[in-house]
A and B are shown apart, each in its own frame.
Chain A
């Protein structure tokens, strides 16, 4: 059956037409940055998360200040000016986490992932690049938004002299901690997107981890919830950006625990990306 009609050429050594062509991690990062900036929905979601961090923090600060006269002694004892101004993070984390899920699950939904992985058949550089670009962008925006939320919140609290300065104990750590927290939530969201390869499953699991499991745990016997509760991702996060007097881990321990969660999620996503059919 072999054809004798057509001359065949050997091609053992493919010489790329464009000089210097090859895959490098830096190039894959550049590519992921192009993908990232070329989707308007991504930019909108990021702006929404900034608006939530700053806007909700300001709103809660303003309401707290205006109702201070009626506040109960317990409420007053519980009050922390930094936490009050950073309260928006509790909601904006959802926007960041969901965006993380979408940035990977969206590629599976459209089939784009096949093109991405054929261009980079070693696969893992694509995941690292996605994580790197997303973490850098979320980190930069979150630092800006948590500082903005802090200063705006404090200026609103100052009407009742409830404000604190950034140099007060723990304030700087909490403001920066909140930004770090948002980055880690984004990374976990991205890992869940890669793990499930599906938007609905990724978002559901994200919501379960951060919004459903913590309150359910509160229903368990106290000896249990006290032992497990602090190690949940959201509570570990609060240890370094939330209420300093809560029943938390130490700030540094909390950070390490949340980093461990993120690392485990990323490792699972990496194994799945490398081992399973795309």
Chain B
């Protein structure tokens, strides 16, 4: 269990983490999501007692980690892949860490096998690929058979087989009753691995919800309607919980009404439709939507920022969710809104 309460971290006048409060429960995998610079790594460093909070507190397994007598049994953490002296072998790296807490040598061999590094364990870690570095980092986090596991972007740099392996490993660890907390930028990956999500942006909590709830939010469909009488149709559709945006004349993006309703309404009012298409929002889109206002480092694109107020509470109810994050994307809306 990790309990973060009112956690704030400032570096000079830069606030990296701002009054974060959440709990990471045992028995499930919890994903920690947020755009670049959201404060995920900073939060994880404070969990490990490496950075001192400016205010607020963190408890690991209901205690202050910095006072732990058996730290490696309490918490296993991966902060950066390849944080290893380049000319030391993976085996000696792990052995040195294991020795501090009295973890037996047999366990070192065990975690090396577990992460699949047996063949290269005696080679210089400097020659490792990013994926091998990640595996070594995961091995070091698991050395003490910890109750709580914190991994910063563990799938970064892994191949599909490696991603699948990490996913199953983490689920297995959680099923054993451990607390598993992993950060990522990839909503689709988290939807498959995690049960619960903590979403942050600019150091602040944006959402604390189950993956299922997130998927339900994300599956709000967008219906693209093309009509020469778009303005007339828009006025008919507008209502509570309905969002309509328009990027070009004659094209509406409608959220909160089903395609059937739109088609019937158009027919009843003799409005000609040239196109009526349902587009499913992907999980990544929903994630971007959720964190849009808190993205710190925007790439400069030619599309202007949307001016629409999004109603994330709109449910269509008839969609069962888009588990795999279908590639169909909702175009970013820009220009005039309803």
Contact = CB atoms under 8 A, between A and B. Distances in A.
B141 to A, nearest CB: 9
Interface string A24-59: 100110111011001111000000000000000000
Nearest to B174: A6
A22 B100 CA distance: 8
Interface in B80-112: 80, 82-89, 92-93, 95-104, 107
B65 A121 contact: yes
B147 interface: yes
For this complex, into which size category does the number of interface residues on chain B fall? 35 or more
Interface string B161-188: 0000000000000000101000000000
B99 A111 contact: no
Interface string B119-149: 0000000000000000000001000110100
A22 B144 CA distance: 10
A14 B99 contact: no
9 contacts: A21-B72, A23-B70, A35-B85, A38-B88, A38-B96, A39-B88, A112-B84, A115-B97, A120-B71
A214 interface: no
Given A18-B103, A23-B71, A118 B49 contact: yes
A277 B50 contact: yes
Interface string A122-135: 10000000000000
Contacts of A122: 66-67
A110 B70 contact: no
A115 B195 CA distance: 28
Given A16-B73, A18-B104, A110 B83 contact: yes
A57 B311 CA distance: 82
A278 B71 CA distance: 17
Contacts of B3: none
Contacts of B113: none
A83 to B, nearest CB: 38
Nearest to B102: A21
A6 B145 CA distance: 22
Q: How extensive is the interface on chain A, given as a class?
A: 35 or more
B215 to A, nearest CB: 14
Contacts of B85: 35, 39, 106-107, 110, 112
A255 B65 CA distance: 41
Contacts of B1: 11
Contacts of B101: 21-23, 27, 119
Contact of B52 (A16, A41, A277): A277
Contacts of A3: 25, 28, 195-196, 210
Q: Is the interface of A mostly helix, strand, loop or mixed?
A: loop
A246 interface: no
A38 B92 contact: yes
Given A1-B209, A35-B88, A121-B65, A14 B74 contact: yes
Contacts of A20: 102
Interface in B18-32: 25-28
A12 interface: yes
Interface string A93-127: 00000000000001100111011111111100000
Nearest to B1: A11
A10 B96 CA distance: 31
A90 B103 CA distance: 43
Contacts of B99: 27-28, 30-31, 34
Given A21-B73, A30-B99, A6 B27 contact: yes
Contacts of A219: none
Nearest to B77: A118
A9 interface: yes
Contacts of A118: 48-50, 71, 75, 77, 79
